[in-house]
A and B are shown apart, each in its own frame.
Chain A
Amino acid sequence: MTYLYAAYAATWIIHIGYLATLYLRYSRLRDEMQELKKKR
């Protein structure tokens, strides 16, 4: 069962990790957009 849980946990760690990178990239982009709006 240890291997089974390890595989399932690894799957979700990879997916959640990727979702976190997407969120960070989106936040950075949103900040850049706000700066661009201020410049205008």
Chain B
Amino acid sequence: MKRAFPILAVLTAVLLSYALYEALVVAPTDALQGDVYRIIYYHVPSAWTMFVFFAINFVASVVYLIKRNLKADAVAVSAAEIGVVFCTVVLVTGPIWARPVWGIWWTWDVRLTSTLVLWLIYVSYLTLRRFASGGNMPVLAAALAIFGALDMPLVYFSIWFFRTQHPQPVVGDGGSIDPRMFQVWLINWAAFLCFGMLVFWSRYRLEVTRRDVEQIQAMQSLAEPTRTSGALR
């Protein structure tokens, strides 16, 4: 992966540029919303990528709780961070689309509120990981991640189960999206997923290196008093 990384990074950059061209130039203009609808090519793929990373965090947290596997814990924290970044994109681009279309930046409907709650849960998870210490911290974080994952179905299905201001699904069952728009949407999702995976890999390597450094520091601090006591003798 280390050798392939630069090639994959260049390919992802090309794919992202192509996806941007498709979103801004190739995709047809919406008859009702005009060009502002093109925000969905960043908003919706970011939301789907967010779900992928929070799902990875959920699976890794369960694996960590069962097997106490440190790699799973590193995967969990890396995935949560990338998920929060994509969730932030969703929460920022959504209101920018809503202002010209709905006339308001924000409304407390179920989809929007549950997404904000999801963001807050994973920000709490990352805060816990950053500032808490002790052997139980990864266990507590994994438990919090599992509770956080319970919010994901609520976010996803809220537009089916509740009457919401948020638009009904345009992709999948009951969707009525133009096939050309759907194709552009898929290209953008593929591009953001590739980008997310590359960033995730970098974050995972960083986490592994950080743990190695901490381990070496702990070993050295254990060895230093021995040296001192040896010198005193």
Contact between A7 and B42 (Cβ–Cβ < 8 Å)? Answer: yes
User: Which residue from chain B places its CB closest to the CB of A6 in the assembled complex?
Assistant: B96
Contact between A3 and B213 (Cβ–Cβ < 8 Å)? Answer: no
Contact between B36 and A11 (Cβ–Cβ < 8 Å)? Answer: no
The count of residues in chain B whose C-beta lies closer than 8 Å to any C-beta of chain A is 28
Contact between B97 and A7 (Cβ–Cβ < 8 Å)? Answer: yes
Is B35 on the interface with A (CB-CB < 8 A)? yes
Interface string of A1-32 (1 = CB under 8 A from B): 10110111011001100110010011001001
- Of B43, B199, B206, B216, which is within 8 A of A18 by CB? B199
Given A7-B39, A10-B96, A36-B216: A15 and B209 interface contact (C-beta under 8 Å):
no
Interface string of B65-101 (1 = CB under 8 A from A): 0000000000000000000010011001100110110
Contact between B217 and A36 (Cβ–Cβ < 8 Å)? Answer: yes
Is B176 on the interface with A (CB-CB < 8 A)? no
Is B203 on the interface with A (CB-CB < 8 A)? yes
Given A19-B199, A36-B217: A3 and B96 interface contact (C-beta under 8 Å):
yes
Given A3-B96, A29-B209: A14 and B85 interface contact (C-beta under 8 Å):
yes
B residues with a Cβ closer than 8 A to A are: 20, 35-36, 38-39, 42-43, 46, 85, 88-89, 92-93, 96-97, 99-100, 195, 199, 202-203, 206, 209-210, 213, 216-217, 220
